[in-house]
Amino acid sequence: MSRSSFLSSLGWDDSWAESFAPYDGLVPGRVVRVDRGRCGVLTEHGEVQAGWRHEPPCAGDWVALRGLPGGADQVAAILPRRTAFVRGGVGRESRGGLSGDSQGQLLAANVDVALVVEPASPDTGLGRIERLLALAWQSGATPYVVITKADLAADLPGLLEAVSAAAPGVGVHAVSAVTGDGLDAVRAVATGTSVLLGPSGAGKSTLVNALAGEEVMRTQAIRASDGRGRHTTTHRELVVVPGGLVIDTPGVRRVGLYEAGEGLSRAFAEVEELAEECRFGDCAHETEPGCAVLAAVEAGDLPERRLAGWRRLRREAAWMAARTDARLRAERLRERKVLHRRIRRDRPR
Ligand SMILES: Nc1nc2c(ncn2[C@@H]2O[C@H](COP(=O)(O)OP(=O)(O)OP(=O)(O)O)[C@@H](O)[C@H]2O)c(=O)[nH]1
Ligand SMILES: [Mg+2]
Ligand SMILES: [Zn+2]
């Protein structure tokens, strides 16, 4: 395979070639995995293991590789990302129940399609879908919801209706890896580079294997005791499948919002639209007269659950934005101090 046709099977195009122009003499490649200070990069010479010089790369990144004396490879540069899937607050939780980290974590780069994966059984987390959709919209990728394990659903049409209500303007697909139902529809939307996001045990890796047509990722049965997944996938991994590329991810325990204001508005488009109709511009949709949001709940047009989810995520987004502002202020203060010290030092006596 020629260089260009191999690279284009990984998503390389003219605009990537243009971004790569300053690195003439280095080797272009796409990051498939990052693990403990090293990353796997697919290049025209096959998969190369490399370290990095500056910022750590992420699965999906396009990079320029430099061969070091002694034969090791190094990521000399990461090409500017087109899209970035970032989550906030990893692991820690504060008293407010919100994530305690205002630094975003990059989950995947240069993703065209974000597949929010949720199982039909044992339970389908509508709140989780809404949260991931807000992040997906924010990332710049096109989101879809994929309901897995359709073969286990007691009432699939009813479930899909509830999921669609939690995902306005988003395509919802049901699949079963057991029967193969719905796989073609997922294949049709998973063009370019897709990322799979969802809880452990949802069947993300099983879906990757089904799309790949062979077992590329390890899978494991959920725990019988509580129906939870076993966190089988431990690293994000870019896999080449017929017709595209998919990034499998470890099941997320908790995903915090991160600078998701715009994404949140899109994930709750119908609520935001209703809010425009409220009598007061600063309506909090609690008790105000002429509140169009409350009227819609009253009339049964807007599920109460939806309003509660919107409130919760908006509170979290506002809190996260305040944290980020505080961090930026502290950083700026530090920079100013360093600058002043330098000015004092350089002042002629
Ligand atoms: N009945 C049924 N079981 C499925 C389906 N898809 C996946 N499973 C099962 O669900 C279990 C978990 O699947 P995985 O693919 O490992 O789940 P995962 O989302 O990758 O989980 P983590 O890697 O832990 O995040 C496995 O036992 C699969 O066989 C499906 O369509 N129907
Ligand atoms: Mg997995
Ligand atoms: Zn209102």
**Cβ of 178 less than 6 Å from ligand 1:** yes
Q: Which of 173, 165, 198, 336 is nearest to 267 (CA)?
A: 165
From residue 241, give the alpha-carbon distance in Å to each of 198, 214, 215. 20, 9, 11
Tell me how far apart the alpha carbons of residues 82 and 329 are, in angstroms, rounded to a whole number.
28
Determine the residue type at 120.
Answer: A
Per-residue pLDDT of 139-183, as tens digits, reads: 899 999 999 999 999 999 999 999 999 999 999 999 999 999 999
Answer yes or no: do 97 and 228 share one domain. yes
- From ligand 3's centre to the CA of 284, what distance in Å? 6
CATH number where 269 lies: 1.10.40.50
Burial class (CB in 10 A: 0-12, 13-18, 19+), 268: buried
Please check whether residue 284 lies inside any domain of the structure: yes
Tokens of 152: 């286990």
Tokens of 329: 């202020």
Per-residue pLDDT of 298-344, as tens digits, reads: 999 999 999 999 999 999 888 888 877 787 788 888 888 877 777 77
- Give 91's pLDDT tier (boundaries 50, 70, 90): very low
Ligand nearest to the CA of 179: 1
* pLDDT for the residue numbered 89: 62
Per-residue pLDDT of 224-274, as tens digits, reads: 888 899 999 989 999 999 999 999 999 987 788 877 788 999 999 999 999
Answer yes or no: do 196 and 160 share one domain. yes
* pLDDT for the residue numbered 99: 34
In the chain, how many domains are there?
Answer: 3
Please check whether residue 13 lies inside any domain of the structure: yes
* pLDDT for the residue numbered 132: 94
- Show which of 54, 78, 102 is a domain's final residue: 78
Using CA positions, which residue lies closest to atom 27 of ligand 1?
221
Q: Is the pLDDT of residue 1 over 60?
A: no
Q: Is-contact 75 50, C-beta < 8 A? A: yes
* pLDDT for the residue numbered 98: 32
Give the helix ranges, DSSP H, for the chain: 3-9, 14-20, 126-139, 156-165, 183-189, 204-212, 261-267, 269-276, 292-298, 304-346
Q: Is-contact 232 98, C-beta < 8 A? A: no
Tokens of 182: 């719905």
Using CA positions, which residue lies closest to atom 16 of ligand 1?
219
Pairing between strand 73-78 and 46-52? parallel
Domain residues for the domain of 274 are: 261-335
CA 29 to chain centre: 22
As a whole number, mean pLDDT of residues 181-209 equals 96
Using CA positions, which residue lies closest to atom 2 of ligand 1?
149
Share of the chain above pLDDT 70, in %: 94
